[in-house]
Amino acid sequence: MSNPTVISIDAMGGDFGPSVVVPGVALAATELAARNIRFLLHGDAATIRAELPKRGALLSLIEVRQADGVIAMDEKPATAMRRGKGSSMWNAIEAVKNGDAHAAVSAGNTGALMAISRLILRMIGGLDRPAIVASWPGMNGATTVLDVGANIDCDAERLVDFAIMGEAFHRAVHDVARPTIGLLNVGSEDMKGHQELQGAHKILREGALPLDYRGFVEGDDLSKGVVNVVVTDGFTGNVALKTAEGTAKFIATEMRSAFTASLGSKLGAVIAQDALRTLKARLDPNAVNGGPLLGLNGAVVKSHGGANALGFSNAILVAADLAQSTFADEIRANMERLTNVLAHAPPEGASS
């Protein structure tokens, strides 16, 4: 048997710690049973082991390593980097750097996770900060959207970086051989958008990179699934993500109110319960949990802090897909191509 793929887990991160993480690992282990996956859990060993089953196959797949510190959910990134060494989050990421694991998962403090991951693993090529990815539920399956909060101001080159990373991620996780890519804009016409968008549009449109670029897309295209990968800056992406999450909660609340307003509506809810259950599952953020920090020299996946066991297991599935793919090599190769394209590009304003 080939060597196992090891997923390193921050068992103390998130709102619930081991009480959700360990059941999440158990669910993921069942889903990944045929893929030779093992798990390395970092945190308070006694607390973790108390959540483990007393017997069964899961025990043979898990190694528990003691970590004495825990990074608080409200801790500032600078403080976390200064005081976080030896914590469950730090050790989970360091295991990837040391070669003890192939990917890391944490539901902990997002800012701290980004800062520590960047410090320990460093960035690929000329990248400055990781990009956070969201898998957006839509009519044609999941749409990959990035960045959704890490990089507020982005120039044209950074947006093209996101296109490269998002394409490799989508192929690895959503099993699409040649993902299509669009730039999020205020309109689909070529002349629309600010200078940075126009610059990225020009680089991608000219076809020097082996990407299937389809041009500009608009906000309502995110859920339509017009393209597989939607690229935007972290400010716009985060606003769009939070708006979508708020809208989903609003719809769920209004439907619950409508279906409990009267005896007739309650009867209607009983009749439509299978359809309502399906809709609830589609709107559940745990179903698409797991946002990788792309651009690092290693795979790190952020789970929602409030995720349940199913949600955490889905974040582990994303980490396993990345760990068992060539996405990092694809990103490096296309980043080198981009560097070459930019080096040979004519000066701004020069005639072609």
Arithmetic mean of pLDDT over the chain: 88
Torsion angle, CA of 71/52/7/293, rounded to 10 degrees?
-40
Token readout for 333 is: 């190769």
Residue 352 has pLDDT above 50, yes or no: no
**Regarding predicted confidence, which is higher, 222 or 116?**
116
Strand partners, 184: 217
Domains of the chain: 1-130+295-329 (3.40.718.10), 135-287 (3.40.718.10)
Contact 292, 299 (CB under 8 A): yes
Percent of the chain predicted with pLDDT > 70: 94
- pTM, whole model, 2 decimals? 0.85
Residue 4 has pLDDT above 90, yes or no: yes
Residue 1 has pLDDT above 60, yes or no: no
- Could you read off the pLDDT of 250-306 as tens digits, one per residue? 887 887 888 788 888 888 878 877 776 766 666 666 667 888 999 999 999 999 898
Q: What pLDDT is stored for residue 165 in this prediction?
A: 92
Residue 89 banded pLDDT, cuts 50, 70, 90:
very high
Q: In sequence order, what are the residues at sequence separation of 6 or more whose Cβ sits closer than 8 angstroms to the Cβ of residue 205? A: 213, 215
Residue 246 banded pLDDT, cuts 50, 70, 90:
confident
**Averaged over 86-113, what is the pLDDT?**
95
At CA 230, angle to CA 224 and CA 235, rounded to 5?
115
Q: What pLDDT is stored for residue 144 in this prediction?
A: 92
Residue 14 banded pLDDT, cuts 50, 70, 90:
very high
**Averaged over 315-329, what is the pLDDT?**
93
Percent of the chain predicted with pLDDT > 90: 54
- Could you read off the pLDDT of 174-211 as tens digits, one per residue? 889 999 999 999 988 888 888 999 999 999 998 888 99
Q: What pLDDT is stored for residue 349 in this prediction?
A: 56
